[in-house]
Structure 1
Amino acid sequence: MTDIDQNQASGADAAQQSNAASRPTPLGIYDKARSDGISAIEVVALALSAIWLLGTAIFFIFIPQEPAPVGQGPLRFLMTMLAIFMPVAMIWVAATAARASRVMREESQRLQAAIDAIRHAYISQQQGQNLRTEPSVSRKLDEIAAATRKTETALATFQSRREEPVRPSPAPAADAPPRDDQPALALGTQSADIALPLATDDLIRALNFPETAEDEVGFAALRRALKDRSAAQLIQAAQDVLTLLSQEGIYMDDLRPDRARPEVWRQFGQGARGRTIAALGGIRDRSSLALTAGRMKEDPIFRDAAHHFLRRFDRLFADFEKDASDGEISALADTRTARAFMLLGRIAGTFD
């Protein structure tokens, strides 16, 4: 008998658990708003209606009325009904409108709360992404670094020699061609100082970085650009900010900025700032802007790298704009470096 009771008790517990599992989970702020029944609006409307009806009853009962002329009885009755019930109808129309306004306001608040919750969840998910998988930009930059290690080593050696004082030597003959293997010329002039200027196509390719490890043309342009001091400084600054942005899951290939006219870019190169060049801030991706702004506020290293990059881009573009055509300006504006400038410029207030 005891076993039977235990079986019945276990069956009842299982039924209760099943019923609890079948109950719908409350959705919180996403759940449908429940009706509050009679609210203060209806109470006020009822009170006003009662007062009006009581007043009209006192008026028509206790105040003597003159008899209506012959043939105007129905019209007088109609006017009396309108005088009695029209204000009541207006009171309830106003009450209905007030209740609808309150419901719409509550729904708007619920919708805003839902949107904020979704946005915060998305930002938290982006910030909490697992970094075990190597970002594509970091991988490309590592490939670039591996392929150009010899070039960077040579440049480092050249820069260390450049910092050493050089004794003046007799000036070479005017018709003697410069030699690339000569470490120093007269009055401390380096061979890089008299090197041919960097081609515009090479600069644009270098600022976009090689696409893959097999992009021989891109690597060749990058090596030539690294020999130019201004271009090398900007490339290094761009590499730093792109690496830091990739840690937040922000990649320049995913951004689709609005294109600005070459005239606006020329105004920027000539020193214009603020609303005049606002079209350059064509990055509209809200998640990228929010993540970048948060990193800028919280990480001083990222902030310093971003401002250093913006200064280098400003200086190089000011020289680039003087001799570049509209097509070349548009091509440079479509590089990864230019997109990083648009993103960081909006956060830094360059276009405000």
Structure 2
Amino acid sequence: MPDEPAPRRRPRLSPELLAFLLSLAWLVALVAAFRVLGQQGMRISDTLGLVVVALAVFLPVALIWMAVLVLRAARDMRDESLRLQASVEGMRRGWIREQQAAGLALRPTVEEKLDEIAASQKAAEERMAMFHTRRAPTRPATAEEPAPQDGTQPVLALENPAPAPEPLPPADFIRALNFPETEADEEGFAALRRALGDHGTAILVRAAQDVLTTLAQEGIYMDDLRPDRARPEVWRAFALGARGSEVAALGGIRDRSCLALTYARMRSDPGFREAAHRFLRAFDRRFTVFEASASDGEIAQFAETRSARAFMLLGRVTGIFG
């Protein structure tokens, strides 16, 4: 629980006592005035009437005590606001601790699956490299195998490259950058496995994973952020190289607490600062490729992923959006 706010020092002269003294001073001044004026004061009071005299006597006193009541109500509201703020802050910190505990409990299982996928992908790449660089054993030339008469050279094994891999579908790209929801999210892991087969996307996924893991240690979870949505035209302008005020709408993260925690972590942790810049560079390169063939609807879906929200947060902290 946060420390309770230090009790404010009460003024030595309370508002009630001050009001009483002012009221007493006013009445004493009236009595003194009537005594000085004497009979002339009595004639004035008879002329003006009892109503005017009553107003002249009691209206200032009523105003003084009304001001006292207003000050007391304002003081009570301020004290209640401080207590409520302390209570809300305590609930927020407790919730963050619970989220951190839940995230730490789930993270090892998810990371183990990600490591398994990355290891299997690396092994497959090594096998493919060994297969495509294998050369057939050469045989000495004999009389039965004359050299070609047309001047052409025989085709070597290395001159038969493997077919280019299929481009990653936008749906898999978007699903992979949102990461699996839970360890039972089979569709999310399948999309992530296919995304790791694409070199550029694999770099971005690993960079995003490093950043999201570090932010979770600070109690910052992308699902909790509610950024302002930017139009697809702004995202396309960013992909075409626009920076600063032209793409300021991409910095839609307004949570001051998250911004402050992220900024402080970047200043104090060089490793996280390097990971954040690596993620921003990978995001920039890969999103440029994605934007060239993506529709406005796909860009809008991409903007809702956890990786895109991490980009908005880090871009706001590093000043990419001006």
TM-score, scaled relative to structure 2: 0.68
Residue 140 (structure 1) aligned with residue 110 (structure 2): yes
Counterpart of 1:208 in structure 2 is 178
User: Superposition RMSD on alpha carbons, in Å?
Assistant: 4.2
Match 1:81 to one of 47, 50, 74: 50
**Kept after mapping to 1: 8 A contact 2:5/2:82:** no
Return the offset for 1:325: 0.9
**Distance change (3 Å), C-alpha of 1:279 and 1:89:** farther
Matched, 1:48 2:26: yes
Unaligned segments of structure 2, at least 5 residues: 130-152
Write the distance in 1 (CA, Å) between the matches of 2:284 and 2:230. Answer: 17
* Range moving further from structure 2, 282-291 or 326-335: 282-291
User: Residues 180 and 188 of structure 2 are in contact (CA less than 8 Å); yes or no, is this contact kept in structure 1?
Assistant: yes
Matched, 1:178 2:148: no
1:40-189 correspondence to structure 2 within 5 Å: 40-59=18-37, 61-62=39-40, 65=43, 77=46, 79-122=48-91, 124-125=93-94, 131=101, 134-153=104-123, 178-179=161-162
- Residue 238 (structure 1) shift: 0.5
Q: Which moves more between the two structures, 209-218 or 41-50?
A: 209-218
In the alignment of these two chains, the number of paired residues is 288
Secondary structure, aligned partner of 2:299: helix
List per-residue Cα deviations over 1:143-171 (Å, max 9, x = no partner): 22223322135568999xxxxxxxxxx9x
Give the share of equivalent positions with the same residue, in percent.
41
- 1:334 match: secondary structure: coil
Amino acid at match of 1:321: E
1:239-250 to 2 correspondence within 5 Å? 239-250=209-220
Per-residue CA deviation, residues 177-222 of structure 1 (Å, 9 max, x unaligned), is: 6326xxxxxxxxxxxxx65543323321221223455655544443
> Contact conserved, 2:222 with 2:309, CA < 8 A, in 1?
yes
- Between the aligned partners of 2:73 and 2:242, the Cα distance in structure 1 is 46
TM-score (norm 1): 0.63
* Equivalence for 1:337: 307
Are 1:232 and 2:202 counterparts?
Answer: yes
Q: Aligned in 2, Cα 1:318/1:28: closer, same or farther, shift over 3 Å?
A: closer
Closer, same or farther: CA 178–258 of 1 in aligned 2, 3 Å: same
Matched ranges for 1:306-325 at <5 A: 306-325=276-295
Shift of 1:326: 0.5
Structure 2 vs 1, CA of residues 249 and 81 (structure 1 numbering), >3 Å: closer, same or farther? same
Match of 2:192 in 1: 222
Task: Report if aligned partners of 1:225, 1:232 keep a CA contact under 8 Å in 2.
Answer: yes
- 1:341, distance to aligned residue in structure 2 (A): 2.1
* Cα displacement (A) at 1:42: 3.0
Deviation at 1:287, TM superposition (A): 5.8
Partners of 1:157 and 1:118 in 2: how far apart?
A: 59
Residue of structure 1 equivalent to 2:135: none
1:98, distance to aligned residue in structure 2 (A): 2.8
Q: 1:205 to 1:37 in 2, by over 3 A?
A: closer
Which string of whole-angstrom CA distances, capped at 9 and with x for unpartnered residues, describes residues 10-61 of structure 1? Answer: xxxxxxxxxxxxxxxxx9989xx9x958322331232134213432453353
Change (3 A) 1:301 1:60: farther
The answer for unaligned runs of 5 or more in structure 1 is: 1-26, 67-75, 160-169, 181-193
Paired AA for residue 294 in structure 2: A
Structure 2 distance, partners of 1:99, 1:106, is: 11
1:165 is matched with which residue?
A: none
Residues 205-254 of structure 1 show CA distances to partners (whole Å, capped at 9, x for unaligned) of 22122345565554444344334343222111100011112223443344
**Structure 1 residue 141 displacement after superposition:** 3.1
Are 2:207 and 2:275, in contact at CA under 8 Å, matched by a contact in 1?
yes
Deviation at 1:95, TM superposition (A): 1.5
Describe the superposition over 1:116-152 as per-residue Cα deviations: whole angstroms up to 9, x where unpaired: 4235434553565674973435532332222332213
Q: CA deviation at 1:338?
A: 1.4
1:326 aligns with 2:296: yes
8 A Cα contact 2:34 2:42, kept in partner: no
Q: How does 1:190-209 map to 2 (within 5 A)?
A: 196-209=166-179
**What is the deviation of 1:110?**
1.6
Other-structure match for 1:264: 234
